[in-house]
Chain A
């Protein structure tokens, strides 16, 4: 009888790195800092995530995408959300910040430190703290004359 190799948390994490925020296709949920805990025990895979905002409407989509991404590993998957530690923008990795810029979203910074994701200019103005998603504010670049979004520091 051939036993399947045990599944490591690293292999789960590698699969999770292929799951992207549904609204930000250039950033994986790992680089976004959403993954709080991965456990492989009793023939099941448990993934705990930290919501960026309590009301984030993308959570159920992310849950379903994770289940699909981990299905190839075999064991049943439990995805849950926790507030055990608050998600903060410090959890974004450098890769995640670069991914945000590629999507036209300035990485989180104090308003004075926000740079245009398109041309890098510092001559930008905040139009509105609140933007098209809970996690983002609206800015305008006076140099390349593009409106853009910036991730809210939280």
Chain B
């Protein structure tokens, strides 16, 4: 029996062989991750807790949307079916998105946003490291560029998670609540993709997702121990990490497709 996600993966008619289909699945999963967290975090623009953080989170969100655009653009070259990057970003129903379940959580309060950013950015860093020597040269070049920007993201979010943990009181309580709510979904970013074997065999990724996840869990465990935060639980339902999206995501989807849906084919 194929899962819904595998059905999406089979749908890449424009992508020829197993290598291209696997690459397409990878690109779409990464692009969707960056797009959804970017759009979700952009909801802080104008209402950030302090002005500097309003500017910071807006910059982070803008970076992620740019990464998503570049990844969707690479996808349009691999899946040559006439769809433009914007069509991938905006013209799919909610169930057609393949972002990780971690990003299905609403942006929540500032602590929840910081925890999600921390868990996602550290997992994404492990994934980008595994792509640095990718046999897909265009992807490897893009990843080299993205990693230079992500250094700033990690610096920012690591500072914030320490600040919230060390502050005690309500800050720490909110941080713990967010870690408990999102912990079981944190590993979904690095859950094995359909087509993982082809990705490894064709050296599109440098190692299996389980190896990326192990490195990532070590990083998080070191930080969490130092800050006295609980250990992350194993991923719940890893086989359905990128399906079954939440009501919060469906609401976000309604939001980010609204303008495009109001005037088909409109451009800025």
Contacts and interface: CB of A to CB of B under 8 A. Distances in A.
Contacts of B198: none
Interface string A104-136: 000000000000000000000001111110100
A26 to B, nearest CB: 23
A130 B67 contact: no
B interface majority secondary structure? helix
Interface string A50-74: 0101111100000000000000000
Interface stretch (A11-19, A39-47, A82-90): A82-90
Given A129-B156, A130-B60, A88 B148 contact: yes
Interface residues of A, number: 23
A83 B144 contact: yes
B145 A83 contact: yes
B13 to A, nearest CB: 27
Given A54-B66, A55-B69, A132 B149 contact: no
A144 interface: no
A75 B95 CA distance: 47
A97 interface: no
Nearest to A136: B59
B142 A128 contact: no
Nearest to A57: B62
B52 A154 contact: no
A101 interface: no
B6 interface: no
Nearest to B144: A86
Interface in B56-76: 56, 58-60, 62-67, 69-70
Contacts of A57: 62
Main secondary structure, interface of A, reads loop
B62 A134 contact: yes
Nearest to B148: A154
B141 A83 contact: yes
A85 to B, nearest CB: 8
Contacts of B142: 54, 83
Interface residues of B, number: 25
A55 B65 contact: yes
Contacts of B64: 55
Contact of A138 (B52, B70, B149): B52
Nearest to A55: B66
A54 B63 contact: yes
B156 to A, nearest CB: 6
Nearest to B140: A83
B81 to A, nearest CB: 22
B145 A54 contact: yes
Interface in B125-178: 138, 141-142, 144-146, 148-149, 152, 155-156
Interface of A: 51, 53-57, 82-88, 127-132, 134, 138, 152, 154
Given A55-B64, A86-B145, 4 more contacts: A83-B70, A86-B141, A130-B59, A152-B152
